[in-house]
Chain A
Amino acid sequence: MDAAVRRYRVMAYITGTVLIVLCFVGIPLQVAAGNDVIVNDVGTLHGILYIIYLVTAYLLARRLRLSIGPTILMLAAGTIPVLTFVVERWVTRTYINPARQGQQAGQAAPTARTG
């Protein structure tokens, strides 16, 4: 579970950052200055990273037993600038943290609370 969360998070941050560079640096440069270098290179890079993101996000979604709607939102978040980060926080708050609390409550004995 922890490993799946870590993989998803790493990919979410990398993919999200690359997408922001692509959209807020690359596309303005292409439109304003006619410079295609960033759009071409970063665009391809984002395409490849997104495939990895897709896999990690889907594996985590299955781990968390999300239903179709949240899963699709999680997967699509890698293609929409800024939303990647928003959704990562939302998934953490709504699904990952409750699942972790459930695990801890299950693993630790009721009296043992070491902080």
Chain B
Amino acid sequence: MSSAEAGRPAVEQAPAASWRFLVTPRWLGWHLAMVVSVAGMLALGYWQFRRAMEGNALSWAYTFEWPIFAVFAVVFWAKTIRDEFSPPQASTASDGQELAVGIRPARSADRDDGREADEAAPEDEDLAAYNAYLARLQEQVKDHGRWHGLR
């Protein structure tokens, strides 16, 4: 992770890095898999449609099912990319700004230590909830890089 971070020129940090992940080999693989699977689903739907037209009544259900799966795959793909741009937890509360920082594996380590240390008021439910939330995020983010492409 640190090697990937070090290899990147510091100049193009802010704007370029936001969409760059889409052209990493891992993501290109996902794009290819998407195109192939959607094409495959549509082809299967068309095949079922032809069978339905030939008199196979059972094929009518699948004629509609395959396009639904294809649409779902496209929605899944689009939402996953959108989540990469702006993680969904940013919308949950007013603490979105902090969380957007917290989810980056590179920075979360030193961030969290500071958070954990200042659990000053134990009766403060919001703070406790927030700390628990950060801990959970930290847990989930651990192997994020494996799937989301190293950023």
Contact = CB atoms under 8 A, between A and B. Distances in A.
B136 A98 contact: yes
Interface of B: 30, 58, 61-62, 65, 68-69, 72, 76, 79-80, 87-89, 122-123, 125, 128-133, 135-136, 139-140, 143-144, 146-148
A62 to B, nearest CB: 6
Interface in A56-107: 58, 62, 65, 67-69, 71, 75, 98-99, 102-103, 105-107
Do most interface residues of chain B lie in helix, strand or loop, or is the interface mixed?
helix
B104 to A, nearest CB: 14
A96 to B, nearest CB: 12
Contacts of A68: 30, 80, 147-148
A106 B128 contact: yes
Interface of A: 40, 43-44, 47-48, 51, 54, 58, 62, 65, 67-69, 71, 75, 98-99, 102-103, 105-107, 109-111
